[in-house]
Structure 1
Amino acid sequence: MKRLLPLALGSLITAFASTSAFAVPVSWTDWTSSTDSFSASGSLSVGSESVSVGYSATGAHAFVATGPGTNYWTGSAYTNGTVDNAPPASDIIALSQGGTVTITFSQTVIDPYIALASWNGNTVDFGVPIEIDSFGPGYWGFGTPLLNPGGTGFFGSGEVHGVIRLPGSFDSVTFTHTSESWHGFTVGVAGIAPVPEPETYAMLLVGLGLLGFAARRRQQAA
C-alpha cells in the first residue's frame, strides 16, 4: 500500500503537468476604436512586443465594444480546448451584414485564434484550413460548428460559441460570412514570428556571396 501511494501521486502529478502544458496562453486583441460601421482597430501584446490589429468589412457591423460593458465571453466554450484564457470581457466586434471580413496584423503572427459568440445559422469560409479548437455553452446558448467538406469553414448549427484556430503564420486573415441580427468575434494569437537579427542578414549575405563565387569558379573551370 505504501508503495502504491507514491506511484498514484506520481501519476496524478504527471497528468496535471501534461494538461497544464497542453493549454496555450492566447494574447487577445484589445479593440480601442471604431470610427464607422465597417472598420475598427486595436492591438495585442505578446511578451514585450505590441502588434497592431486592424479589422475591415464589406458589410456593416452592429457594434464594436471597446470598453466596460456586457461580457459575452462567458461559459466553458472558450477554454475547453487548447486555449488557456477566454477573451477579455470588454472587447468584441458584432458582425451583422454578411460579406468579407479582413483582419490585418502589423507583424506576422503564429496560429491566430478566432473566438465566436452567437454564430447562429451562419455559413463561414476562411479559404484556408481551420481547426475547431473548442465549443460549448455560451452567453446566448449552445450550438455546433459543422466543418465544410474542404475544412476551410463551418456552418453554425444553433448558437455557436467557441474558438477556431488557423494553423500557420499569417499577416492577415480573411473570411466570408452570412447575415444575421448579430454574431460576435475577436481575434488572438499564440505568438509572433521572430524577426531575424542583423547578424542573421549578414551571415545570409556572406553565404550568398560564397555560393556565387563557387558558381563562377565552376563556370571558369568548365
Structure 2
Amino acid sequence: MKKAFFSKVASSLLLSAGVLASGAALADETITFDSAGNAVFGLTHDTAGDFVDTYLFSIDPATQAWLSGTAVTGKTWIDGARLANYGITDITFFSEVDGVRTNLDTAFTNGNAIEFYPVDSLLAGNYGFTVTGSTLNNASGGSYAGTLNVVAAPIPEPATYAMLGIGIGLLAFSARGKTNNKLG
C-alpha cells in the first residue's frame, strides 16, 4: 500500500514538473538592441507541431522608431534532401500597456526571404511581436533565426517648436515693414 501511494505521489510530481517545464518553454523572450540598433532573435523547437513565440522589446523615451526585420528558417534532412522544415505563417507586432497587448498593423512577406515591419513608426514604450508557424515534417522539429533593426529619429522638444514659431514670426514681421513707396 505504501509502495502504491509513493508511486502515485512520484508520478504526480513528475507530471507537475513536466507541466511547469513546458510552461517555461512558452515564456516571452526579451530582446535588446545593440548600439547600432540591431537585435537578434530565434528559437529551436525539438518536437514537431505548431508554435507561437513572443519577443518583447522597448523603445527609449524621446524617440520615434522605424523597425524592420528579417528571418530565415533552418534546413532539415528530409527524404534524401535538405528542405526547410519550418513554415513561418505570420509575424505580428503589438504594443503593451499595463499588461494589455494590442496588435499593430504589420507588413509581412514570406517568399524566398521573410520580411516584416510595423506599418507606422513606434513611439517610446513597450512592444513585441509574435512569430507563428509550424513544422512541416511531423517527424522532427526545427529552428529559425532573425534580426530586428531600429532606426530612431529624435522627437523635437516643445522648446524647439516655440523657437520655430518665433523665427517664423520674426520673418513675417521683417517682411511686412519692407514696402516700396514708389509703386504706390
Please state which band the TM-score falls in when normalised by the shorter chain.
0.3 to 0.5
Bigger share in strand: 2
Which structure's CA Rg is the greater one? 2
Larger RCO: Structure 1 or Structure 2 (Cα < 8 Å, ≥ 6 residues apart)? 2
What TM-score, normalized by structure 1, do the two folds share?
A: 0.35
Bigger share in helix: 2
What TM-score, normalized by structure 2, do the two folds share?
A: 0.40
